[in-house]
Chains A and B, each alone.
Chain A
Amino acid sequence: MDFAPTTEQELVVDSVRKFVEQECYPHEQEVERTETVPAEVGEAIRRKAIENGFYAANMPAELGGGGLDTLTMTMMERELGRTSFALQAFVHRPSNILRACNDEQAERYLHPTIRGERMDCLAMTEPGAGSDLRGMKTTAVRDGGDWVINGTKHFISHADLADYTVLFAATGEEETPRGKRKKITTFLVDHDTPGLEVREGYRSVSHRGYHNCILNFDDCRVPARQVLGEEGAGFDLANTWLSASRLTVGTMCVGRARRAHEMSVEWSASRKQFGQPIGRFQGTGFKLADMATEIEAAEMLCLRAAWLHDQGRMSDQDAAMAKLFASEMLARVTDNAVQIYGGMGLMDELPIERFWRDARLERIWDGTSEIQRHIIARSLLRPHGA
Chain B
Amino acid sequence: MKVLVPVKRVLDPYVKVRVKQDKSGVDLSNAKMAMNPFCEIAVEQAVRLKEQGVASEVVVVSAGPQQSQETLRTGLAMGADRGVLIPTDVALEPLAIAKLLKAVVDKEDPGLVLMGKQAVDGDNNQTGQMLAALLGWAQGTFISKVELQDGAAQVTREIDGGLETLQVKLPAVLTVDLRLCEPRYASLPNIMKAKKKPIDTHSPEDLGVDVTPRLQVSRVEEPPARQAGIKVESVQELVKKLHEEAKVI
Contacts and interface: CB of A to CB of B under 8 A. Distances in A.
Interface of A: 7-8, 10-12, 14-15, 18-19, 48, 51-54, 57, 61, 66-68
Name, among B69, B74, B185, B194, the residue most crowded by chain A CB atoms within 10 Å (CB to CB): B185
B195 A57 contact: no
State which size class the interface on B falls in: 10 to 19
Given A7-B195, A8-B195, A53 B189 contact: yes
B228 to A, nearest CB: 13
A111 B138 CA distance: 52
B93 to A, nearest CB: 28
B248 interface: no
A53 B74 CA distance: 16
Name, among A7, A18, A53, the residue most crowded by chain B CB atoms within 10 Å (CB to CB): A7
A66 B188 CA distance: 7
A52 B183 CA distance: 13
Name, among B34, B187, B190, the residue most crowded by chain A CB atoms within 10 Å (CB to CB): B187
B73 A11 contact: yes
Nearest to B183: A18
Contact of B187 (A10, A14, A15): A15
Interface of B: 34, 69-70, 73-74, 77, 184-192, 194-195
B185 A15 contact: yes
Contacts of B191: 8, 11-12, 15
Contacts of A14: 34, 74, 186
A45 to B, nearest CB: 12
23 contacts: A7-B69, A8-B191, A8-B192, A8-B194, A8-B195, A10-B70, A11-B73, A11-B74, A12-B188, A15-B77, A15-B185, A15-B186, A15-B187, A15-B188, A18-B185, A19-B185, A53-B188, A53-B189, A53-B190, A54-B187, A57-B188, A61-B192, A68-B188
Contacts of A68: 188
A371 to B, nearest CB: 33
A143 to B, nearest CB: 45
Given A8-B195, A52-B185, A61-B192, 13 more contacts: A7-B69, A7-B70, A8-B191, A8-B194, A10-B70, A11-B186, A11-B194, A15-B191, A52-B184, A52-B187, A52-B188, A54-B188, A66-B188
Contacts of B188: 12, 15, 52-54, 57, 66, 68
Contacts of A7: 69-70, 73, 195
Nearest to B188: A53
B198 to A, nearest CB: 14
A103 B186 CA distance: 32
Nearest to B12: A14
A7 B34 CA distance: 13
A51 B187 contact: yes
Contacts of A57: 188
Nearest to A56: B188
Nearest to B189: A53
B110 to A, nearest CB: 25
Name, among A11, A12, A48, the residue most crowded by chain B CB atoms within 10 Å (CB to CB): A11
Contacts of A66: 188-189
